[in-house]
Chains A and B, each alone.
Chain A
Amino acid sequence: MHIDESFVYFKTKQYLSDNGWTILAGEPAGGSDELPRIEIRNPGFRDKGSKGSYKIDLISQKGDVILLTEIKVTYSHSDITKLNDITSTKNAQLIAALKERLDLDISLKKIIKSLSLNNLKSSRIPYDFVCFKVGETIEVINQHLLPKD
């Protein structure tokens, strides 16, 4: 089984869909997808291009919960930093981006941060992050953070 980021992306989407999540937006590492992309722009950068902006790998919804997922083959702490930044200092931009692209108001919704990867190495997942460990099957770490069916 060849595991690269596009494989982890596909398997994560499939798992979330199978478990009642609606996939709202996505940005695969390579290639394209049928999902719209959400770009959280850097308000300090007005020129062409995406300098300083964030794109989230997967955005899903179940009821009043929005799940933000960053996808890699191997754990990277930069994904933790990114999602923490998006849900704190750039929260207003996230809300605006989803409103503009999807006509979705998430201002009153709960946001959960998550990683999806194949190789966790020896890293610890922060207590406020869900982690989908993708292999032949998917193991979920901190599953209690997710809404129950």
Chain B
Amino acid sequence: MTNNTYEIYYDAFQEGKWFQCLSKHLSDAILLPISQTDNPEVRKLLRYDKPDIILLHNGKAVISLEKTTEVPTGHNIGQRFGRIVCAAEEKVIGIYFGPFLAMKHGTYAGKCWLNVRQLRAMLKLKEFHHIPSLAVNWKCDSKYELIRNGTETDGLSSLVNRLIEHNFSPNITGVSLVEQEMGEVIDESETRRSAYKEPPPSARIISTDKYKQDKRLNGVQLPKYFFSRAKSLHYVVGMKAGLRSDPFTGMQLVYDYAYCRTGPNKEDRSINLVMEIPDLSVKDWDSVTNTERKDKRMLKLFPDLLLLKDGVV
């Protein structure tokens, strides 16, 4: 293989072409669909979810990128977090490109800011996995509409070019500048809305001892570590229409990294990650027999305890 062979694996063709246009170095890149490959360098990044772009350099995965125009409301953004976590675990630079602030249209129109807990979790990903997880802002205009005149990718294009030109070294100025901006956005957001300093009401940190009174745990043997951790993050999710993945399989990881983790493995937690789905019964859970389905796989994999309406998993 010659030096500097690039392959752009895409989830959607127009995004593959878009990514290719970010750098002149990618003009000869081969574009390939993620869905059609069995390349292990690509497949390893699909363990939790499917990113939009995976860039290979000389056969090795170097960037995993998530692009979105979605207004950063609620869980719109966190639901994609699994892709970013997988990249970090595989020591691949993860990039999230989307608006930090944008106007939501429709009945509930208004300005929506990014939930900066995700940015905090991304900085923790770097701390534990020693590979950058970067959020690059898709800027908006004075009316909070996304800029769509081509200049919106200037910052991202500059970052991608610098990474390519420095052989994807994570220690370049371009990376530290993005991380600095992420930190500034966190600080500004927490000043604007102090609630961001803590977990949200749906994910409160409580005393682990409270689970000793939970009848659903009668007769259940929990691992010794569970009650050795004084605190647990108790994340309650609604699933009135049945078991589903988005946004919870991604959001659980935002809270995990932002509040629970002390290291790269899920065993490295100082606070338990507990998920409760009060709408879902054990029967509902068991009725989904495909254990490889994303929701079942991810909700079993990460929480220390998964509580349902009438029992535990």
Contact = CB atoms under 8 A, between A and B. Distances in A.
Interface string B67-88: 1111000000000000000000
Nearest to B150: A34
Interface string B11-22: 111110110000
A143 interface: no
B51 to A, nearest CB: 11
B105 interface: yes
B152 A34 contact: yes
Contacts of B221: none
A2 interface: yes
Interface in B84-137: 105-108
B306 to A, nearest CB: 27
A6 B12 contact: yes
Contacts of A124: none
B36 interface: yes
Q: Which of A4, A31, A35, A101 has the most CB of B within 10 A?
A: A31
Q: Is the interface of A mostly helix, strand, loop or mixed?
A: loop
Range, interface on chain A: 20 to 34
Nearest to A14: B17
A31 B67 contact: yes
Nearest to B145: A36
Interface in A15-33: 28-33
B107 A46 contact: yes
B148 A34 contact: yes
B14 A13 contact: yes
Interface of A: 2, 4, 6-7, 9-10, 13, 28-37, 39, 41, 46-48, 100-101
Interface of B: 10-15, 17-18, 32-33, 36, 52, 67-70, 105-108, 145-146, 148, 150, 152
23 contacts: A2-B36, A4-B13, A6-B12, A6-B13, A6-B15, A9-B14, A29-B12, A31-B11, A31-B15, A31-B52, A31-B67, A32-B15, A32-B67, A32-B68, A32-B70, A33-B18, A34-B18, A36-B145, A36-B146, A36-B148, A37-B69, A46-B107, A48-B107
